[in-house]
Structure 1
């Protein structure tokens, strides 16, 4: 029996994952470093929290929202053109931002340059990494997502130091050079995986977007980013307004970045035994807890107690935010399959981008209007709680779509909670071949697979694409044991 595509879980895939993490680190770190410059920019242009936070909101909206376009471009052209064009727009926009004389120019230069430019390669990098892995996909996705945590942790103090030495204009120029160098290194590390026949990806995507699980992920993504991006865009300025010195306020951002790395690696390492969907919900549940702690800090008078509570808030926020982002790509592949994965992830990132456009201005303008940072924090906590309610009922099983194709795990089995209409044709892999036995599994998987191969071949197997690849068992399920047994449709056909 063939071992399946040799590139899956290979050393080249790990190199690609590390290169993707570098690109994500440079993109997220540079965008989030805007918080270090925000107060100086507000003082120079004579504005409050709202107008400055709108720059950040537009940028993050385009950063995630442009995935609606970049996902389709990735499915068609691959990653290299997107990283080259997007990286050039990103660095050029940052350098041009340092030259602005009126604030609204920043809405265009910082927003379009860093937002749309970075968005051209951000979501595709997660889809790219998913195509390189089967058994270790959750960990690989965690490595890529760790890039954003590293960027938050490393670039925030770097930006603060550059601000003190060169001012916000010189600091942005320096960051543009740093980001360009990182993108160049990452470009040599990243490689497109060999193509696998995924069948009719367009039809598959049309079925995915009609599922309840897709809209639950989309809606919860909006609530998630309204709360998280709103807080990331205001935590430094709010902390300074609440009495913390600038370096202590920026240190909170570093803590968020470090705890985000911990959350990414810890939760993705637990994806196999506990299930990535379950962990995604747990990560989201941490957000309302974080905002409750943050709100409590606004009612504390002692500066040391306030700072201690803010450290706890930043740690919980980082773990929740990091874990959710790291698991998102793996959950998407697990639920919906790999066919048209770039497009599906692009749509999910776009929905998240709409929340990013709302969150920072909502918190900034609310704080300006009320003169109290407690109210916007409380609003964010309520929004996060609503997102938890939306996500909790989502199924943990792959959707039983007739076009569902691997390698995210075993073929999906029909469940009573499945929202999909009946298939219009027989699935490519007969479900009876992979149905779990009614009694506890005691025989080796290889024996059960050999028994399945002795059964008669159906017409659907003869017509199926030759490169469709199924590893057994599902690497996301906690109730299955044993090593994965790779099986291709061609193997099944030849055996008969």
Structure 2
């Protein structure tokens, strides 16, 4: 629209989204390839499921949890420094992990290097993509999230092939080189969008944190990742313990990756007609169904029937997981607006990371203690069901928080009357006041205030009761006085959709 931000939904934005997808692919794919190496590492170090799964849990916790820091760093410094520093930590930690002689060293090198290093740029990439798009934001977010599905689908068989040729140590070294090449390529594709004025972002974030939908998303995210990341960290090992050959077990991870891509693209393509909030709830609802199928596989005797049921489980899990990752950014922007988006998404990623810290060791140590995989699966299914119960009541409408988006250095504009508009009476006839003896009394006229400024001055309870705000971009009103620089706010179309 005339006078609006021209970078929204531009070709440059799509190039940036593709670069972000490559980075996400390398990060997720490399971290999840740990599952292909886990059995060999457990044998070499003489441990059970629990200690090895703790490496994966710490890594994923830091990968998501560091977003509470990286989101704010992105808002201040942009994406390039985070990708350079984080990518260097990521590849360096993976290379160093291949030389460890004691398992606890892996908690530090793999966990801090890949977890914290990857987390420096993971959440900011989703926030960055959201800032490039308005009309096609959900599809663009789905494209970036597809990177994690591609990584899961492609890196798992690659890791298994490297394991058979070079062992787990040599395989990690090769993956470090592959990841470094992808990060360098993505760095040339990614660009920060033109700066836009966001008003008081810190106050906006403070209001977001005090809203009920934020806590519903955060708490549901914890339960979701306890179940999902716990499953991703154990599905290959559990399948092998249940009798499947190593290649068939790793193939389940490939199926999860492929299904997550299908889920990302299918659900984000339906975001405009059905609403991304509604679809996020559907993605959550798929988890209890997936764990019910997984539990039944432990009660089936034949390997062929067991493998078929595991494919069904992996497909449902992949669609649910893919939908959650793909829709999170769009739902966050829809509910809370663009102001301080990096910080808000960082806090939501942190909550997810908290769940990831407990999921893998919970399932691993429970399997060690019980000598079977049935109870860990039941626990994961119950946890997922609690997450569904928390998220289902969440509103589908934007939280009415005052915000403003526009060019840098420009204050929120005040509406200017059109020159051609006929003057309106200050006091409507029906509002004329009469005294006790019938005489005319001068009425009390409330001064007209800028609705945006008035909304910002409201207390939280009053602000939350009003209609959701629009995002404004100042543009010259036809017929207004150009010499006085009169402007009027025009609503940007990216919030004018039903969720």
TM-score by length of 2: 0.85
Give the paired residue count: 444
2:461 aligned residue (421, 441, 447): 421
Q: Deviations over 1:132-162 (max 9, x none)?
A: 0000000000000000000000000000000
State the match for 1:471 in structure 2. 492
Alignment of 1:59-458 (within 5 A): 59-403=59-403, 421-423=461-463
Query: Which sections of structure 1, spanning at least 5 residues, go unmatched?
Result: 413-418, 434-449, 479-496
CA contact (8 A) 1:403 1:427 kept: no
Q: CA deviation at 1:473?
A: 6.9
Query: Which sections of structure 2, spanning at least 5 residues, go unmatched?
Result: 408-450, 453-458
Alignment root-mean-square deviation, CA? 2.7
Tell me how far apart the structure 2 counterparts of residues 337 and 455 of structure 1 sit (CA, whole Å). 31
Q: Alignment partner of 1:421: what SS?
A: helix
Tell me how far apart the structure 1 counterparts of residues 219 and 464 of structure 2 sit (CA, whole Å). 28
Q: CA deviation at 1:455?
A: 12
Structure of higher CA gyration radius: 2
Q: CA deviation at 1:472?
A: 3.2
Tell me how far apart the structure 2 counterparts of residues 470 and 164 of structure 1 sit (CA, whole Å). 58
Q: Deviations over 1:105-124 (max 9, x none)?
A: 00000000000000000000
Tell me how far apart the structure 1 counterparts of residues 379 and 333 of structure 2 sit (CA, whole Å). 32
State the match for 1:51 in structure 2. 51
CA contact (8 A) 2:227 2:381 kept: yes
Pick closer, same or farther for the CA change 1:337–1:239 going to 2, 3 Å. Answer: same
Pick closer, same or farther for the CA change 1:229–1:455 going to 2, 3 Å. Answer: farther
Q: CA deviation at 1:423?
A: 3.2
Q: CA deviation at 1:75?
A: 0.2
Tell me how far apart the structure 1 counterparts of residues 490 and 181 of structure 2 sit (CA, whole Å). 38
Q: Alignment partner of 2:463: what SS?
A: coil
Q: CA deviation at 1:429?
A: 6.6
Tell me how far apart the structure 2 counterparts of residues 83 and 319 of structure 1 sit (CA, whole Å). 28
Q: CA deviation at 1:403?
A: 2.9
CA contact (8 A) 2:363 2:376 kept: yes
Tell me how far apart the structure 1 counterparts of residues 469 and 277 of structure 2 sit (CA, whole Å). 24
Tell me how far apart the structure 2 counterparts of residues 44 and 193 of structure 1 sit (CA, whole Å). 48
Q: Alignment partner of 1:351: what SS?
A: helix
CA contact (8 A) 2:224 2:355 kept: yes
CA contact (8 A) 2:400 2:469 kept: no
TM-score by length of 1: 0.85
Q: Deviations over 1:157-211 (max 9, x none)?
A: 0000000000000000000000000000000000000001110000000000000
Q: CA deviation at 1:454?
A: 9.4
Tell me how far apart the structure 1 counterparts of residues 468 and 349 of structure 2 sit (CA, whole Å). 29
Q: Alignment partner of 1:422: what SS?
A: helix
Q: CA deviation at 1:426?
A: 10
